[in-house]
Structure 1
Amino acid sequence: MPILKIPIKHYLGIVSQSQQKDFKKRYRKRAEENDTARTSSVRRNPFETTEGFVEKYNQAQGSKEQEKYENLADVFLIRCKRRAGFISVGEGKHVDLPGAWTQLLLLSLCNGQVRNDSLDVLVVSLDHAPIHADQIPVLFHLAESIQYFLSSDTTLSDPPSSYKTKMLQLGYLVSLRLFIFQLTGNLNRHQLSSIYLHSLKGLLKCETRYQEFPNMLFSVHFMMRVGEVLCGLKLTEDTSVQVSVEAQEHGVNQVLRQCLFSYHCVQNNGTRLSQVIEQLMLLRDKLQQDNWVDCGLGLMILGEAAKSSMPCLQTLMSLHMVQTQESTQEMASQKASWPWQLEHMYCTILIDICLNSYCAEMKKTALIGQSNFSPCRCSGGLLTLLKQSHEDKWRLRYSVVQGLAQISRRITLSESLRNIAWITLQKHLNQETDPRIINAVRIIESEWITRRLAHTLSKIWPPVQLATHSANHRHRMKTTKPRKEAVSTARTGEGCPEQPQIITKDAPKTPRQGKHGPSHLDLRTRTDIDLIKVVEDQWQKELKKMMEREEEIEKTVLEKRKQEDEETIMRKRMEKVKKNTKPYELP
């Protein structure tokens, strides 16, 4: 039969006041013990990174437990890769992007190689992962942490390093995603914290620190400008904060909308692409007057369309050529020139087309330009930007030098393209007098997030005016998604985007993909890819032989050194005790 516990109530006041206090202490103590037992029974996931683990990891450096914690950190990193969908391009049932990004940010606080590896994984994941509204809270957490790190006195006092470059690139990607959510209206129900505003104001101190490094300074300016749009404020040098009317009335930019129309036409074989391009050319003055973040985002989407459309590539170069001619004719007036941040984004877009376009003709045009493109001398390619010798254009030449170094080192590109980039780079460095450009050695890989943001924004703002498409519209829509996923899987490994053609051979076949791979790969390209794989295999074999040979040599040297030490001991013993026997050895 069940046991019932009947509570005892002292109605007659038999128990004294001191006994009541004693009873209350016992009951309170028993309740605390029960709560402790209940909480101790809950076990924490052993493969989850915590702040305690980071503290223990850093304290174990140089001790006997260092190897133990390094192995644990490697296990945590592998788990974070899986949760971030590192191989599956951020998609799958096992993917938890907010949790993975939080864990990777904690791992980046560890010292040593784990810090760089976790940052590499975090940058790649933020670059190629899908864009969903559930990422907003963790994005603000990342933004606050990055901005606090960059504005700290310790960071500002130390010289620029690869770790700071990765943090700035991470801040750029986080701010870009937040800006997209702002454009789509997903941030309306999210209230910004005072911590974000305080860390944003701290970035003002970074401007003077990175003046000689345009790529790093651009990331700082991008984070600040996006933060002003999100907060509806204007940051000033003093402690006061001004209300920005432009940020409060922020909407969809006309240049951005027309670039989205052009991307939509290219993706869906739209028949009105020429009309969209004409309207975009009429808005070329907006690129000099409007917010450079909005215009830069539009140019990024237009550049994504230019990877497979020659008219879009010509339009992109025409917009820059027109403003270059106007600024040359009106040198005294600065109204006709783009902001240097927009120039930097334009250069980055051309580099991305040279590295990741689907057509060899697009790559060549983006690098060299077209001789019959315009009656003027400048052809609009990447090499033309090196001819701008004006003092104010040194940041643009800095970006071009970085891009040419990237192109010359990409082995998956054609040899002729790499040779042109290398020869031009060496000639320019021999003639360049600015030491800031000569020392431009920090190379930043091109970002793939443009494909994600272009695809996302085109879904949110469907161009109603462009409803007329060609007959094979449905067929094109079916083949777009597998092709995108196949190309996006190239971002694996150490965070460097490889040429899309290598990965597409193992991707699921689409109606446009035949027996030997995608149709845009010709025989020579496939042969080059196979040759690269053979060379890599042969190099691995040679490397293994070299390591075995070095181990044998090292073993021989150790044995020889041991023998020499024994001979030296015996010689000293002979000199002291006049015996040629070893110690503790009977004659």
Structure 2
Amino acid sequence: MPIFKVPVIHRFGILSNRQHKELQKEFLRKYFPSHSYEIRHDKPLNPLEITENFIQKFNDATNPQDKKDLLELAKKMLARCKRRSGLGTLGSGKHVDLPVAWTEAIILAQCKGEIQEEALDILLISLDHAPMNPEQVPVLFFIAESILYRICYDAAQKSYLYSSEIKLSKVGFLVFLRLLVFHLCGHLKSSGEHTYRLYIDLKALSACEVCYQPYPNILSAVHFMLKAGETICRGDIRKDNLFRTMTTIHHYSHSDLEQKENKIQPFLWHSLVVWVCIHNNSSRLDEVLQHLLFYKDELHQKNWLDSVLGLLVLGEAAKLNLSCLKVLMDLVRDFISSSMSLQKQKDSCMQNLSSWSWEIGYVYTTVLRDICLNGIISDLQKTAFLGFCDCTKPPKHPEELRGASFFDLLQYSPSDGPHDCEELFWVIRYGVVYNLVVMCNELCGDVSREGLRNAMWNALQKQKNNERDGRVLEAVRVAEAEANGPANPFISSSANAPSSPRTLISCQYVGWRVASALSQVYLPPTGPNIPLPSKSKQKVSPVKYQYSEQRDVEKRTARPSLRYLFPTHKPLSLPLCPFHLFF
């Protein structure tokens, strides 16, 4: 349905729960006039309409029968929300209405218990694979404000970490990622008041960073939201006093932001060219990859947003081509090695913790996980885990990073430098261990990739036995706590599927969506729009020449088999500790 950009009168800041509810009602009334979401004194005609009154009744219900009835009604609302999101059709189809579905999901996420978890799951999957359309901008701002409010005045105030906080951070990352792409594409020029409210909310989020210092998986998402929000609201941050009148807001957003948009760093631009070359069978791919290596120093720039986008785009290309994977791993290896070398030259590494962008390294571990799980051929998946080097030989110098595969990052130990330099690398090792647990959980029961999972499982167990840093071991507990929850019937293939260990939701398509949206703006048209491949066809290469080319590269590359490297076979099921701290 079309989104009408009607300015909201209330200026929302993270001040009180009442103002948050007022903003919610105003948004629903203005943008969805055909849907009766407001509180009514009479009985609603539609029993499945989502109202503030329903949310309050659901959370305050004490009678067992009332709880049961409200739970059944909420599940029906979730089922309708799933259909409108197009979870089974990659966000496309006549029945899909993404703005309405996302609005319903973020409102249902206010319900306590399993409804909250399942609503966030629907949002996570839909935001990952849904097409990018400028009509989504208003609802994305609304979700962003709701997420920031939930984190700052609900989740961060609790004494323990809850699974919903992890999901909120993941949803926040995907929402701000889409807003950043729309900003780079020039679609936020008329969103002056939205950026003003977002600017106020981000001030409160910056005060919550300290709560997530032990959890880099959440902290990296918080940092991305802050950095992306700063870029989106750049003019607002520089001239805070210009927001005293709405006229000044709109004038400044048009004059200042319009000049700063449509500019990306060469590293991101060349990553887009690589991605397009892969899908257009370009014979100049090797030449473009060599040019990309010339801009590896851009990974050290203070503004690392374009670097993160570049890694996402290059990761999509690496899922289809071995040469792209090699360049990706070389870039990150040089980035981490040079960062460690630079810190060793400092008097105190801890004082310079913010001088290297560890968020780039952490995002890389998630990109590498996506390649391990969704690489188009098995050799790409194995290489992302083992690397290109001869991993059967122990490294002569453990303080030297040989590669940037999961196995290489586990073996790396910058212990010969100052002790404080180890503090700079633990967040990367945290990401490696966390994603190993995710991958073992994802591959559980996949007979065709039994060897790969056994290798990952053995590497994880060895790391757990040898790891001395308790902060890194916390990654195992966090990922296992996420996996211990029951399966979500609203995202599984069968709604009647028996209860089983949950597959942790990981981003699989968002890199493709980012690359597709940015290439249409920053690159000249070279052919028809590249469609998003369906999940069932991922194992079949859409480019015929790649397979023979990759086999020629593999013959020249010494890489041991998984069975030779990890001869001991373990049970297929990953042992999950009963850990209830996060629930």
- Verify same fold: TM over 0.5: yes
2:155, 2:381 → 1: CA distance? 42
Flag the 1:367–1:246 CA change in 2: closer, same or farther, 3 A.
Answer: farther
Q: State the shift of 1:383 in Å.
A: 1.3
TM-superposition CA deviations, 1:172-207 (whole Å, max 9, x none): 110000001001000112213343222111101211
1:451 maps to 512
2:285, 2:368 → 1: CA distance? 21
1:46, 1:218 → 2: CA distance? 41
1:98 maps to 99
Which of 199, 216, 219 lines up with 1:217 in the alignment? 219
1:510, 1:377 → 2: CA distance? 34
Work out whether 1:293 is the aligned partner of 2:341: no
TM-superposition CA deviations, 1:393-414 (whole Å, max 9, x none): 0000000001222223313362
Work out whether 1:260 is the aligned partner of 2:272: yes
2:322 maps to 310
1:460 maps to 521
The aligned runs of 1:62-461 (5 Å cut-off) are 62-152=63-153, 155-193=156-194, 194-232=196-234, 249=260, 251-327=263-339, 329-330=341-342, 331-332=344-345, 338-371=356-389, 378-389=402-413, 390-409=422-441, 410-411=443-444, 412=446, 414-440=449-475, 441-443=477-479, 445-448=505-508, 449-461=510-522
Q: State the shift of 1:363 in Å.
A: 0.8
Flag the 1:153–1:124 CA change in 2: closer, same or farther, 3 A.
Answer: closer
Q: State the shift of 1:158 in Å.
A: 3.0
2:417 maps to none
1:554 maps to none
Q: State the shift of 1:291 in Å.
A: 1.7
Flag the 1:415–1:454 CA change in 2: closer, same or farther, 3 A.
Answer: same
| Stretch moving more, 163-172 or 331-340 | 331-340
CA contact (8 A) 2:105 2:119 kept: yes
2:230, 2:401 → 1: CA distance? 40
1:95, 1:370 → 2: CA distance? 43
Q: Count the aligned residue pairs.
A: 444
1:270, 1:356 → 2: CA distance? 23
SS in 1 for 2:47: coil
CA contact (8 A) 2:156 2:211 kept: no
SS in 2 for 1:209: helix
SS in 1 for 2:460: helix
TM-superposition CA deviations, 1:324-380 (whole Å, max 9, x none): 443455431589985100010111111110011111111111111112799987133
1:256, 1:157 → 2: CA distance? 39
2:155, 2:314 → 1: CA distance? 40
2:257, 2:460 → 1: CA distance? 41
Flag the 1:414–1:64 CA change in 2: closer, same or farther, 3 A.
Answer: closer
SS in 1 for 2:192: coil
Q: State the shift of 1:323 in Å.
A: 2.8
CA contact (8 A) 2:330 2:403 kept: no
Q: State the shift of 1:247 in Å.
A: 11
Flag the 1:258–1:510 CA change in 2: closer, same or farther, 3 A.
Answer: closer
| Stretch moving more, 333-342 or 437-446 | 333-342
1:446, 1:500 → 2: CA distance? 16
The aligned runs of 1:448-527 (5 Å cut-off) are 448=508, 449-463=510-524, 481=531, 484-487=532-535, 500-501=538-539
2:90, 2:154 → 1: CA distance? 37
Q: State the shift of 1:45 in Å.
A: 3.2
2:56 maps to 55
Percent same amino acid among aligned pairs? 36
Superposed CA RMSD: 3.5
TM-score, structure 1 normalization? 0.69
Any gaps of 5 or more consecutive residues in structure 1? Answer: 1-38, 468-473, 491-498, 513-587
Q: Which has the larger radius of gyration?
A: 1
Q: State the shift of 1:140 in Å.
A: 0.3
1:9 maps to none
Q: State the shift of 1:154 in Å.
A: 6.2
Q: State the shift of 1:510 in Å.
A: 9.4
TM-score, structure 2 normalization? 0.70
1:247, 1:436 → 2: CA distance? 43
CA contact (8 A) 1:192 1:231 kept: no
Q: State the shift of 1:459 in Å.
A: 2.3
